[in-house]
Amino acid sequence: MFQSDIQTSKGPPGRTSRTRWEIDTMTTLLCPWSSLSATLKAHTSDVRAVNSPTNDMILSASRDSTAISWQKSPSHPKFTPEAVIRASTRYVNAVAYISPTPDAPKGYVVTGGQDAIVNVFSLSSPKEDPDFSLLGHSENVCALDVTPGGTIVSGSWDRTARVWKNFNLAYELKGHELSVWAVLAVDEEQILTGSADKTIKLWNQHKLISTFRGHQDAVRGLALIPDLGFASCSNDSEIRVWTLGGDLIYSLSGHTSFVYSLSILPSGGIVSGGEDRSVRVWKDGECSQVLVHPAISVWSVSTMPNGDIVSGCSDGVVRVFTEVEDRWASPEDLKAYDDMVASQALPSQQVGDIKKSDLAGTEALNAPGKKPGDTKMIRNGDIVEVYQWDADNTTWQRVGEVVDAVGQGRKQLYQGKEYDYVFDVDIQDGVPPLKLPYNVTENPFTAAQRFLQTNDLPLSYIDQVVNFIEKNTAGVKLGSNEEYVDPFTGASRYRSGGNSVQTTNLGPSTYVDPYTGASRYSGNSAAPSAVPPASSEYMDPFTGASRYSGAPPSKPPTSASPKRIPMAAWTLYKPANVPLMRQKTFEVDGRLRDEISTSSLAMYPQELASLEETFAYLTHITDPKLSNSNLPTPTASNVDAIIQIIQRWPSAALYPVFDLSRLVAAFCPGAFDTPALKSRFIQALTTAGEWSSPWNLPLQKSREINLTLVLKALANMFQEGTKLDEPWVNEVLSALSLLPYEVLSKVQRTCLATILFNISCTQHSSPLDTLQRQRVFELALQILKNERADSETVYRTLFAVGNALYTMKSSGNLLKPSQNQVLDETLPSISQTFGSEARVQDLIGEVASLL
């Protein structure tokens, strides 16, 4: 029979006691609450994702470029880091878990991040390099899920989701108009995807089944509810529960800002985390508890099989909450946590515009809240405080003080992507403001130029836009200190003072090649200053005020004598992670060997031995930490083995061999002992790279990667000591003329300009003949006439032209009148387009003085 005795149960420190009903011999909390159980600190930046596949394991991924496996055991009852995985050298934004297999008895951790790669690491024997790297996405990987069978689903800013079976791409899910922020594997065949385009899509394998509409902003999270359907959350602050048939069952309202993540409790309850500093627990369609965090963003939540809740936050901390009193933290830790929450300041952007005079005073706290989690702002003297209704204890709990804080940690979404700031820019009265997105890690000139081009505004405004950005982000350090990794070879960014790359003093930029990590030119000058044209109509884009007017210059200013030209400092693409390159090459060979249909394409024993020799030499010469050895330098036979593999393997599998070719060209010029061997090498690269095939956009990803790596290899063929009077040079120039400039990416255009620059450095000691010089100028003029976005490409090309003009002038030769005229007409246009960069303006002046 029921017993009506009421028994008192102790609540967390600082809270009133609550009651529970004893039913027969079983005691059950009428409304149990979760309290802090553990605080896990090891990350040094935002924890963007958490996953808790077992009661004893937590996986976390962070913007500090690591993923951590936290473990506990009966002998070690507290979670501690068992493995810290260097998953990337950029932000890691997603993490998932693959259950144990014979090859990985502890399972695999799967990570995704800014490098656009899905990496898979065995937890049985974590290594520096991933066991598998899944290539295909072209932008940030922000979502991951795994089926019970081990199929991986990934979502990306490139607007696609991809499904990977046995660590190979099974199919690509295309259909969303903006970034895919959430993925959910319903079963082995059905996939749900949520996007910044505000929709959710259901797929059966690669076929789109249905589209769910209802959210008013980006969909950020998805969670499967067994025997019911699924839940979704959004930047519209709503949580929606759906059937797989597309019917909306109910909505949950309570969050006051973006909702980023969802998870499902074993009991069927929903856990959510968001931008309002809270984790909320929902049971039977109502919010049963609000767990306020001492951080602006709760990026991710996960639930354990035992019902404990895990959160990952913008303060870099992983926290565990539990309903089980035996697992609560100590009373001292609980009180310290509550004090930390109460002492936090909330940005005003998080709670909306505030007019202090309209706020009630502390007397407003006498009225009860309407539902759990209700928030109320009150005026307490000169400060504004925020309180949250604790329905269990029927009291208002102080959760912080409101401060003005634009940009203090909250990411803004614009066109599906995250930015630190999205400014409203008023251009003209009566016209809606324009959006100016900006990240503190990017050059303000780059952001300003993108804004002006997007909105068809004159580039002469760039100085004012940059000033606006710098003024409104005062105190924030511009530029990124994060490391960059080559998405194909793992090469790290070049650091000044290292010996791994040759650079030239051509300018102040700190650009890093996104494919091999090669550094852009480095110099000692300060950052380029924005110099608007000295005599053009100017209008302040923010106030509309005119400054001065006049006729535009007929040609750019000239320099009395060259200061940088002639330049003879070749730029070679050298940095690489050779061990990883070797691993990728032999992985591809193993896959070819294991398939009956492709086994004949696999490397022969002598080719395997030859590549091992080449990799061993390159490993030692590219790693200054390794002692010098007497390893033999690669010879013509090693180059011949590479050529044969290139000629035989499928193009889509060639990227590690193309990258190997790049390094051999850079570090082993003596291996190309005859002009004929160089010709065979060039022909193999361009043929396998499909240079003679139609250039229909968009290019296949494998072809785009191969094109970039071949261009880098060609750039490395021109270095000190190269002879330009050999037939292969003409073959390179002829091949380059096949490339339509409009199909080239920014990186590829920079590579093309680098080839011309290296040729121009070489021609000081080995002059170009008349036909070669004409082809070089044709390629250079094509760049200068068409490039309107990347100043680095223009800068390198101007050096190539200047070097060639200097050599011609020194030897008494003249440029063809038609080319001289085109160049004379093109320079003013370049000056106007890139007028904000002093280095470009100065170089234009030097080139003009040589005409």
**Topology alike, domains 35-344 and 742-850:** no
pLDDT band at 407 (very low <50, low <70, confident <90, very high): very low
Compute the chain's Rg from CA coordinates.
Answer: 31
Coil/strand/helix, residue 674: coil
Between CA 194 and CA 227 the distance in angstroms is 21
Predicted confidence (pLDDT) per residue in 689-728, tens digit:
999 899 988 888 889 989 999 999 999 999 989 999 999 9
- Helix ranges (H only) for 343-394 are 348-351
Beta bridge partners of 51: 59
Is the pLDDT assigned to residue 385 strictly greater than 50? yes
Provide the pLDDT for residue 411: 63
Is the pLDDT assigned to residue 525 strictly greater than 60? no
- Distances in Å between the Cα of 60 and the Cα atoms of 85, 310, 388 are 10, 10, 29
CA 458 to chain centre: 29
Q: What is the mean pLDDT of residues 634-648?
A: 95
Provide the pLDDT for residue 475: 42
Provide the pLDDT for residue 426: 65
Q: What is the mean pLDDT of residues 665-673?
A: 93
Between CA 655 and CA 646 the distance in angstroms is 10
- CATH code for residues 742-850: 1.25.40
- Distances in Å between the Cα of 740 and the Cα atoms of 354, 657, 737, 756, 786 are 55, 25, 8, 16, 11
Coil/strand/helix, residue 581: helix
Is the pLDDT assigned to residue 226 strictly greater than 50? yes
Tokens for 186?
């319903």
Is the pLDDT assigned to residue 487 strictly greater than 80? no
pLDDT band at 429 (very low <50, low <70, confident <90, very high): low
Beta bridge partners of 97: 109
In the chain, domain spans: 35-344, 362-402, 441-471, 562-717, 742-850
Q: Average model confidence (pLDDT) for the chain?
A: 80
Provide the pLDDT for residue 539: 31
Is the pLDDT assigned to residue 547 strictly greater than 60? no
Nearby residues of 519 by Cβ (< 8 Å), 6 or more positions away: 493, 494, 496, 501, 503, 510, 511, 512, 513, 575
Which range of 361-365, 662-666, 745-749 scores highest in mean pLDDT? It is 662-666
Tokens for 711?
């261009």
**87 and 61 Cβ atoms separated by less than 8 Å:** yes
Which range of 104-108, 376-380, 442-446, 507-511 scores highest in mean pLDDT? It is 104-108
**91 and 113 Cβ atoms separated by less than 8 Å:** yes
Predicted confidence (pLDDT) per residue in 33-86, tens digit:
789 999 999 999 999 999 999 999 999 999 999 999 999 988 888 999 999 999
Predicted confidence (pLDDT) per residue in 184-199, tens digit:
999 999 999 999 999 9
The type of residue at 798 is L
CATH 3.30.565.10 fits 35-344, yes or no: no
Provide the pLDDT for residue 400: 66
Is the pLDDT assigned to residue 755 strictly greater than 80? yes
Provide the pLDDT for residue 496: 25
Which is more confidently placed, 441 or 285?
Answer: 285
User: What is the DSSP secondary structure assignment for residue 599, as one 8-state letter?
Assistant: G
Predicted confidence (pLDDT) per residue in 103-135, tens digit:
999 999 999 999 899 999 999 988 888 999 999
Q: For a pLDDT cut of 90, what percent of the chain falls above it?
A: 48
